Structure 1
Amino acid sequence: MLSAKLSQSRPPAFFALKQKQVSHHVCQASKITLRMPIGVVFEQKAPGEPVIVGEVMPGGAAEKSGRVTQGDILTACSAVILKAGKEGQFENEGYGQRPYDNWERVTFDCRGQEFKTVMSALKSNNPRWGFNDVILEFEKPSFANP
């Protein structure tokens, strides 16, 4: 189940990230592949803020992996696009041909993107196109003492 939520509150930790107080924060990056449904509720506190994990659903793929936690920052995800090149090949072949069967998985940078754009990228990983999983890249923020 791919869920989404947009809330308006801003916790102090993410305010610090936005203010670029990099000297006080250390991030641990991780990359994970999850089968769908991934069992994560994503949220964005305000436009321009990072997309974060708002909730990990009990029993979902994310919880079973043990590598996704509430507050993780989504930095990138897989997205599926149509590769160019075959469109003109089928013009003269007639009805019933499949000009749109060349799907490609790419990495989509989620940083600075609108919430709905990130959700569209996640939803493009569709079994209909032959992709039954999603590749996610997270940063796990931790704040060190100054």
Structure 2
Amino acid sequence: MPRPKTSTIPSAAAMMIALLALMSSPPFPAVEAFSPVVICPSLSVSSSSPSSSTTSILRAVNGIWNTGNDFGKGKFRFYDGLDSYMKPFPDEDRQLYPEMFRLPKGVYEVRLSRPCGIVFEEIEPNRGVYVQDLVEGGNAANEGTLKEGDVLVGVTAIQISGAKWERRLIPARRFGFDLAVNAIGSNEEKWGCNDVILLVERPGEADGIEVDRFLEFFEPPADTPWKLPV
């Protein structure tokens, strides 16, 4: 399979920037409490992929995005892996929508301590990053899951409203280099984070359309700092 298209950033420069960025804790913007709007993605219906009714029902009934005074509270305020995040859903949902309770084929959830030891490079300017290299002896290399060429499609990030905060899994397929690094860096100990969780898509194994449908379940409201403008 061909490797993702790279940007015009020189490889050596990209490596140096990435290593320096991932060693530090970059600043990230605060966000006001989300407006009380439930975003229900419109998805095509098939027997093998999530439907709009799947995501609408699960999101609306269980309130996975807290709004207003509910921000920073509830069952979904801290993402600590897919299994634990989906645990509040009843068995009936698991039987009706099994595709929402497992990662799509070719997608890997990787839990890492910081600094991650990953060299990211942009696929296109400010639109998507992939793993260009792993630092020898670094946390990612030692963990063993990530491979060169893996595409970042999700990352945990901290969102703040006044004195309240939440850690959420944010779809990241269209993140540029800076936004990806800042999201990773927001997972600081002062917010109760002793790790960062990445979702990566492996070219040649994953169906990109299926992955994007899965990720729509986690799509945040428009007023989060971790969402690109349309």
Q: Same fold (TM over 0.5)?
A: yes
Decide which moves more: 131-140 or 48-57. Answer: 48-57
- The answer to whether structure 1 residue 77 and structure 2 residue 67 are counterparts is no
Which structure: greater strand fraction?
A: 1
Aligned partner of 1:43 in structure 2 is 121
- The answer to whether structure 1 residue 60 and structure 2 residue 138 are counterparts is yes
- 8 Å CA contact 2:155–2:183 kept in 1: the answer is yes
Mapped to 2, the partners of 1:61 and 1:109 lie a distance apart of: 22
- The answer to whether structure 1 residue 132 and structure 2 residue 194 are counterparts is yes
- Quote the offset at 1:49 in angstroms: 4.3
- 8 Å CA contact 2:121–2:131 kept in 1: the answer is yes
Alignment of 1:10-25 (within 5 A): 12-15=2-5
Deviations 1:9-55 (A, max 9, x none): xx95325xxxxxxxxxxx71111111112111111042254310111
RMSD, aligned CA: 2.1
Question: How many aligned positions are there?
Answer: 106
Counterpart of 2:202 in structure 1: which amino acid? K
Aligned partner of 2:180 in structure 1 is 118
- 8 Å CA contact 2:187–2:196 kept in 1: the answer is yes
Decide which moves more: 69-78 or 102-111. Answer: 102-111
Mapped to 2, the partners of 1:131 and 1:44 lie a distance apart of: 26
Quick one: percent identity of the two aligned structures? 33
What SS does structure 1 have at the residue aligned with 2:148?
A: coil
Mapped to 2, the partners of 1:107 and 1:58 lie a distance apart of: 27
Runs of 5+ in structure 2 lacking a partner? 6-104, 206-230
Mapped to 1, the partners of 2:182 and 2:127 lie a distance apart of: 17
Counterpart of 1:135 in structure 2: which amino acid? I
Counterpart of 2:111 in structure 1: which amino acid? T
Deviations 1:36-83 (A, max 9, x none): 12111111042254310111111111111110111110000000111x
Counterpart of 2:140 in structure 1: which amino acid? A
Mapped to 2, the partners of 1:34 and 1:63 lie a distance apart of: 10
Deviations 1:125-144 (A, max 9, x none): 1123221200000011127x
